[in-house]
Amino acid sequence: MRERLNELLVEVESFTAKKPEQVEEFRIKMLGSKGVLKELFADFKNVPNEHKKEVGQLINQVKEQAQLKIDEFKALFENIITVDNTIDLTKPGFPTTVGSRHPISLVKNEIIEIFSRIGFTVSEGPEIEDDWHNFSALNFPPEHPARDMQDTFFVESESGEMALRTHTSSVQVRIMENTKPPIRTLSPGRVYRNEAISARAHCFFHQIEGLYIAENVSFADLKQTLLYFAKEMFGEQTEIRLRPSYFPFTEPSAEVDVSCSVCGGKGCNVCKYSGFLEILGCGMVDPNVLENCGIDSKKYSGFAFGMGVERIAMLKYKINDLRLFSEGDVRFLSQFKAAQ
Ligand code: DAH
């Protein structure tokens, strides 16, 4: 029996397999229910007592070695990928389609990038606002008709009446309440107004608010900042035009037009033959607003501006329907630069 076991040990050690079936065959032969080892265990009772220990150890050794071999080859075959000769593995793979950035994100990021070069940071505020931040602190007196300039969606909440913010000017208030001047920040975000949806109006859209508060900030600083922005955004040849306007939170206030990038200011159907396109509202922050936010209006002054991101994207990409931005139509979206 000892001889037989030593032979088996050699057989196990020299076992190799080229195919998984050979491993299975080997397993059945060695460890199967009618296998060699079963037989040997059955004969074990005939081994004289004084050899039992030695023979027992040998049987176990054969069993363990056989199991090791089986595991080794099984692992080997599991990791081998059978090569199908009909496939050309050197061919390039199928291209994966990469999504594109939304035009609103592209324009928003470009605006932020332009202003960050002259020191503006980015700040954000909540889309559900209280009356103070959206209206009162911005110098809209209660019951004042200026509140009707923006049709508001009101929201009922446990802490009283809230509203979906109608403009990102609400973030100005939050920043001024919490930051000591100098302040130089941009606040991008979504705003909501109760408007009928059409090609030119939507119940939600995006704005970017700009705010600069420091000592001795003048209207000239505002004009120069906006001229810099217009040239960076629409090209070096761009001119700006300021028209007097009214906003409760700025005094004086203005609306800003840029020379039409389609006709270069000569007049075309995009600019309705005026040569200019309106892009934003701006002004010097009203001293009342500064005081409402705890900033000393004798020491500090500043300017603010607010622009619609959709409006700028429409000019830049010559898009003529506001609804396209929120319909999620891939035929529209995939025309914009691939995501990086
Ligand atoms: N909040 C104004 C709007 O939604 C835009 C605006 C105008 C913002 C003048 C300003 C500003 O900061 O100074 O129509």
CA of 152 to the centre of ligand 1 (A): 15
**Is the per-residue pLDDT at 339 higher than 60?**
no
Give the phi and the psi of residue 326 in degrees, each rounded to 5: -120, 10
Average pLDDT value over all residues in the chain: 91
> Residue 143: pLDDT band by 50, 70, 90 thresholds?
confident
Residue 86 domain-assigned (yes or no): no
Residue 85 domain-assigned (yes or no): no
C-beta of residue 112 within 8 angstroms of C-beta of residue 124: no
Q: What is the pLDDT of residues 114-131, one digit of tens each?
A: 999 999 999 999 999 999
DSSP assignment of 278-337 equals EEEEEEEEPHHHHHHTT--TTT-EEEEEEEEHHHHHHHHHT---GGGGGS--HHHHTTS-
Say if residue 161 is in the same domain as residue 207.
Answer: yes
Spatial CB neighbours of 266, under 8 Å, sequence gap ≥ 6: 260, 275
Say if residue 201 is in the same domain as residue 326.
Answer: yes
**Is the per-residue pLDDT at 250 higher than 80?**
yes
C-beta of residue 338 within 8 angstroms of C-beta of residue 237: no
CA of 158 to the centre of ligand 1 (A): 29
Residue whose CB lies within 8 A of the most ligand 1 atoms, among 150, 165, 246, 249, for a mutation test: 249
| Structural domain that includes position 70 | 2-78
- Work out the burial of residue 29: count CB atoms within 10 Å of its CB; fewer than 13 is exposed, 13-18 middle, 19 or more buried: middle
Q: What residues are in contact with ligand 1 under a 6 Å CB criterion?
A: 167, 169, 209, 247, 250, 281-283, 304-306
Task: Please report, for the domain that includes residue 274, its CATH number.
Answer: 3.30.930.10
CA of 283 to the centre of ligand 1 (A): 8
Say if residue 139 is in the same domain as residue 269.
Answer: yes
**Is the per-residue pLDDT at 82 higher than 70?**
no
What pLDDT was estimated at residue 187? 98
Of the chain, the percentage scoring pLDDT greater than 90 comes to 59
Residue 292 domain-assigned (yes or no): yes
Q: What is the pLDDT of residues 32-48, one digit of tens each?
A: 888 888 888 888 888 88
DSSP assignment, residue 219?
H
More confident of the two residues 51 and 171: 171
* Residue showing tokens 């920043």: 175
What pLDDT was estimated at residue 149? 67
DSSP-derived 3-state class of residue 33: coil
Say if residue 114 is in the same domain as residue 242.
Answer: yes
Residue 98 domain-assigned (yes or no): no
Q: Give me the mean pLDDT over the 216-238 stretch.
A: 96
What pLDDT was estimated at residue 83? 67
Say if residue 245 is in the same domain as residue 328.
Answer: yes
**Is the per-residue pLDDT at 86 higher than 90?**
no
* Stated pTM of the model: 0.73
Return the structure tokens found at 232. Answer: 């960076």
Q: How many domains does the chain have?
A: 2
Say if residue 255 is in the same domain as residue 332.
Answer: yes
Last residue of a domain, one of 78, 112, 142: 78
Cα distances (angstroms) measured from residue 204 to each of 101, 105, 122: 19, 15, 21
Residue 89 domain-assigned (yes or no): no
CA of 169 to the centre of ligand 1 (A): 6
Ligand 1, atom 4, residue with closest C-alpha:
167
Say if residue 168 is in the same domain as residue 23.
Answer: no
